[in-house]
Structure 1
Amino acid sequence: MSRTHTCPGCGKDDRVQAVPAVYLAGRDAVTSRERNRDGDMRTVTRTVTTGLSDALAPVPGPPSYAIGGLGVLAGVVSVGTFLGGVLAGKWFRGEPAHEPSELDGWHLLPQDVAAEPPPAYEFLGWISAFALLAAVVVFVVVQRRRTVFARLTRGRHRAEELWSQGWYCHRCGTVHLEDVPGEDRAPLTLQRFREKVWEHGGYGDLAGARRAVDPARS
């Protein structure tokens, strides 16, 4: 019986598997047919991750960029209201109003007076400006999140070096390390394994906030 593939908890090797293999096995691309908002069918591919694979992740998941959708919407509103205001202004300036202005004998001579757009259209410019400002703010927030996450996880290669030497026992639900200087073979819970790996990458403080959930005990 190989020591490398033997769980130090149960002493068996029949259900021991390398951590990278367990992690990758729990991440599948699932393709399905769904209807969009217009009722048309479309093909959608999503990555489905098991709880075990998520618990064994060598790096925390990226921050949510859902706010980016609001930025896109704000940008659309900004462009739409701006174009609407421009077109509305052109329409009103292009329709002169004929008003009598001078007396020539018995006839009144008309003078072209440009019609002023109603006050409602003046607010389109303000709406466009505020929407553009909102879009810029959202863009800055998203870029900042990406930059912070990239800087925080720049040591992930060190974390993956330790992570790749982990072995998971499906029977015990624990992980142990093999041939790692300074580390023994004692069984580790998923949370403790996450803490060790993430600390090795320099982002161990996130392990407390993003705790690994053991699917066998949840």
Structure 2
Amino acid sequence: MKTIIHKAETRGHANHGWLDSHHTFSFANYYDPERVHFGTLRVLNDDIVEGGMGFGKHPHDNMEIISIPLSGDLEHKDSMGNTAVIRENDVQVMSAGTGIFHSEYNKNKDSKVNFLQIWVFPKERNIKPRYDQKTYDPKDRTNRFQTVVSPTDPEAVSINQDAYFSLGNFTSGQKTNYKISSPENGAYFFLLEGKIKIGQETLEKRDGIGIWDASTLEIEILEDAEILVMDVPMKN
């Protein structure tokens, strides 16, 4: 088993006033040659956007872009004609493919929105751009992992990659397991809340750990915890 750990305080940080962003991997003006990507997981940004502010229209191509709101409401518009608001318990995937333009704004003027912006390298390049969004019941991830992104599961939002994202809310004092989807994949655990232990490593809020060359992983819940697992191919 191989591991790499990223403590919350070691992340890149940029505060633009309207946007307060922490970068697990190299992004924009933050560059660390040791933290460019984890397999096909390229970007993991923890973004807080002030009321009424946001990202103006900008282009993407050949990237799978996943947005997971943690609090607040994010309004999305794109060149495919989609207009939607994504909220807590929603997950959105956009396959940029041959190229799209989109914008993302905080829907509310009087409160912040906190969301994860995640980029994954695609399995197939230059596909027709595609948009998918679903709402999940958090009760379905109480003390277990709920798959929210998958290339094959009809209950999950679809992605153009052999990648599987799962969310779980666990109560303190128990142990649980996560089985990595295939020998070619690794799992990156991002702790949204709480405190857990995986192997010899203890993780606290916003810490991340990548694990590969492993199969089934045991997780000890030290404090009530909310966990995001990104199960991705290690070669892109």
TM-score, with normalisation over the residues of structure 2?
0.22
* Structure label with greater radius of gyration: 1
Greater share of residues in strand = 2
Higher RCO structure, 1 or 2 (CA under 8 Å, sep 6+): 1
Greater share of residues in helix = 1
TM-score, with normalisation over the residues of structure 1?
0.23
